[in-house]
Amino acid sequence: MIQIASEVDSWEDAIKKAAEPLIKKNYINQHYVQAMIKSVKKLGPYIVIAPGIAIAHARPEEGVMKMGISLLKIDHCIPFSDNGHHVSLVFVLAALDSTSHLNILSKLAEVLSDDERMSQIKNASSVDQILQVV
């Protein structure tokens, strides 16, 4: 459930676009997407976990039907705040509860902490290239 976009208009659009594969496969519903956006508006860019990387999520009861994760790679960074939180990789995490997704997060952390793999992802021009890295 990986997509590449040359650009998006805003961080809200990035979250919506990143969530599309999860919606199409009935992992989440539209309410979950709105809940993710609402959380960032209320709490700030807390989903920006590292330079260039955001993991959007909301509470499971906001519209998660199945556990999953998706990725949107954006060719041009977009601001998530006025304070320099620019992002080019937007993950959407759909968790069913507070623990079942920890294995996914552990594997994701492994990839995100590997500079070589991150460089390959950021420089990838196709979904297949990203899939080879992850």
Catalytic option among 57, 85, 86, 101: 57
Which residue type sits at 45? P
- Is residue 57 part of the annotated active site? The answer reads yes
User: How many angstroms separate the CA atoms of 131 and 123, rounded?
Assistant: 13
Helix (H) or strand (E) holding 10: none
Please state, in angstroms and rounded to a whole number, the distance separating the CA atoms of residues 60 and 47.
Answer: 16
Contact yes or no for 53/46 (Cβ under 8 A): no
**CB 105: neighbour CB atoms within 10 A?**
15
Contact in structure between 15 and 93 (CB atoms under 8 Å): no
∠ CA 102-106-111, rounded to 5° = 145
The catalytic residue positions are 57
